[in-house]
Amino acid sequence: MDILGKLEKLKILAFKDNAFTKPAIPPTFPVFINPESYALNYTIEYNTDAAQGNNGTTARYTRHSPEEFSCELWFDNTGILDGIPRPDVYIETEAFKKFLLDIESETHEPRHFMVIWGKMIFKGRVTALQIDYKLFKPDGTPIRAMAKVTFKGSFDDVLRLALSNLLSPDLTHLRQVKSGDTLPNLCYEIYGSPRYCIQVAKVNRLTNYRKLEPGRQLYFPPFDKKEKA
C-alpha cells in the first residue's frame, strides 16, 4: 500500500485572458521533475521623498505590490525522466521558452499563467526566464539544463484597492459567490437594500448580474446610504 499516495506534479497552465477562462495553445507544459523548492516574495512600496526644505524623510505607504513566485525546473536529454532520449535539451528548453514568452495572436500580449502544486495556486505573468546549461557532450552539446522562472501575481485594480486596505474595512466587502447566491440578496445582506445591484455589477464588470458564477469573488464598495440608486 502506498502510504504517501501518488506523487502530484507541479502544473503550469496557460491562458489567453486575465480571467483565466480561455486556455492558450498548448494549454499546459509537462513538468517531469518537481522543483526542490519555490519562493513567494511579498513587497510593500513606500515613498521616501523628502519635502523641499526638509532634510528628514518619512516612509509613506504607497501600495502592496503583487506577489512574486519563482522556482527552478530541470531538463535532461538522457531519457531518465520519461524514457525518451533526445539529441540535446534544446528541444525542451526552446519549447518551454516558447510556451512562456510567446505573444498571443488574439490579444497581442504575453500569456497569463496559473501555477498549481498541492494547495498552492498562483496566478500571474512571466517576468523573467533564465536557462542555465549544466552538462555537455565532448562536442559542446548540452545534455542538462536548469530553468529559473519568475511570475508576478495578477489581480485587478478593484482587488488591489481592497487588499491594500485603502477603503473603509467596515464598509468594504469581498465575497466569494456560493451556489444559490444572487446579487440582490448579497446587496441586501451587505447594504440592507438590493437597490445597489446595478452599481455593484458595474464595479465588478458583470455582464449578467442575474446569474452569478459560484467561486467568483465580488467586490462590494462603500456607498453613501443617502445616495439614490
Cα–Cα distance measured from residue 160 to residue 163, given in angstroms and rounded to the nearest whole number: 5
Residue 115 pLDDT class (50, 70, 90 cuts): very high
Instruction: Look at 197 and 100; give whichever has higher pLDDT.
Output: 100
Centre a 10 Å sphere on the Cβ of residue 16 and count the other Cβ atoms it contains.
Answer: 19
Report yes or no: 15 and 21 within 8 Å, Cβ to Cβ.
Answer: yes
145 in helix, strand or coil? strand
Average pLDDT over residues 123-152: 93
Does residue 67 register a pLDDT over 80?
A: yes
Average pLDDT over residues 142-163: 77
Does residue 155 register a pLDDT over 70?
A: no
Q: Cell numbers at residue 1, please?
A: 500500500
Does residue 1 register a pLDDT over 50?
A: no
Instruction: Look at 112 and 219; give whichever has higher pLDDT.
Output: 112
Q: Cell numbers at residue 170, please?
A: 467596515
Average pLDDT over residues 45-50: 74
Cα–Cα distance measured from residue 181 to residue 139, given in angstroms and rounded to the nearest whole number: 64
For residue 221, what pLDDT is reported? 81
**pLDDT tens figures, 158-190:** 455 555 544 444 445 778 888 889 999 998 888
Cα–Cα distance measured from residue 212 to residue 181, given in angstroms and rounded to the nearest whole number: 7
